[in-house]
Structure 1
Amino acid sequence: MTLEIITPDKKFFDGEVTSVTVPGSMGSFEVLNNHAPIISTLDRGKIIIRTNAKTQTFFIKGGVIEVLNNKVMLLAEGVEIH
C-alpha cells in the first residue's frame, strides 16, 4: 500500500509500506494492506512506518488520517524526528 505524509510545510513521506501505526484519538491503531476505509483524527504521538527493508519511527503533533483502497493519506500538523 502507499503512504503519503503531508505537513503544512512539505511532503514528508511518499512511498510503499507494509504497515503504519498511528496515535488515534481513541488509542493507537495499525493500518495494514486492504484495511477497511477509515477517516480518523490523530493525537500527538509516535508513528511507526514499516517497509520490507526497514522500520522508521517519527513523532507527529496531531492530524488526520484517511485510508481508502490501499492508499493512506496522513495530514500532520508537524513531524518531529528523534
Structure 2
Amino acid sequence: MADQSVLTVSIVTPDGQVYDGTSTMLVVKTKDGQLGIMPNHVPIIASLAIDEVRIKHEDSSQKEDAVAVNGGFVEFSDNTATIVADTAENESDIDLDRAENARKRAQETIRKAQEIHDNSTLRRAQISLRRAINRINVAKH
C-alpha cells in the first residue's frame, strides 16, 4: 500500500511527461481560484488557468518544484494527482531570454491589434502574453 502521507504528482502534455514525483502538497490555480491538494483530499477534477504549479516536498517545508502550466486540467483521486496540460515547462527548463522575447512580441502584437481593432488577434496575443509572463515568473522563482 502506498504511503498515505504523500501524493503522487504527474504532469503530462501532448509531447509527453514533464514531471513525475511525490509531494506533501500540490498548489494549482484553477479557473475559480487557487487550490491546495494534500494527501487524502477528496477526489476532484478542475480546469487550470495559465499559472505556475507548485509541488511541495516532504524533505523540507522550504523545498518545492515549480512548473509553468498553460491551461489544461487536474484530476485527483487515491492520492494521485494528474495534470494534463496544453504545455508545461519545469522551472529549470525555461529559457528566460526566449520567454522575454515572446513577451515583447506579444506586447507589440497587442499594440498593433488595438490600433486596427482586430479582436481575434488581440485575444490570441493576450493569451501569448499571459503564457510568456507565466514562464518568466516561474523561471525567476
> If the length of structure 2 is used for normalisation, what is the TM-score?
0.55
Determine which of 40, 65, 75 is the counterpart of 1:66: 75
Is structure 2 residue 87 aligned with structure 1 residue 78?
yes
Partner of 1:7: 13
Structure 2, unmatched stretches of 5+, are 1-6, 92-138
Q: Which structure has the highest helix share of the two?
A: 2
Letter paired with 2:73: V
After superposition, where does 1:1-82 map in structure 2 within 5 Å?
A: 1-53=7-59, 54-80=63-89, 81=91, 82=139
Give SS of 1:36's match: coil
Q: What TM-score, normalized to structure 1?
A: 0.92
* Runs (4+) off by over 2 Å: none
Task: Give the number of the structure whose alpha-carbon radius of gyration is greater.
Answer: 2
- What is the SS of the residue equivalent to 2:48? strand
Counting matched residue pairs gives: 82
Structure 1 residue runs without a partner (length 5+) = none
Between structures 1 and 2, the one with greater strand share: 1
- State the distance in 1 between where 2:84 and 2:72 align: 5
SS at 2:14 equivalent: coil
Shift of 1:58: 2.0
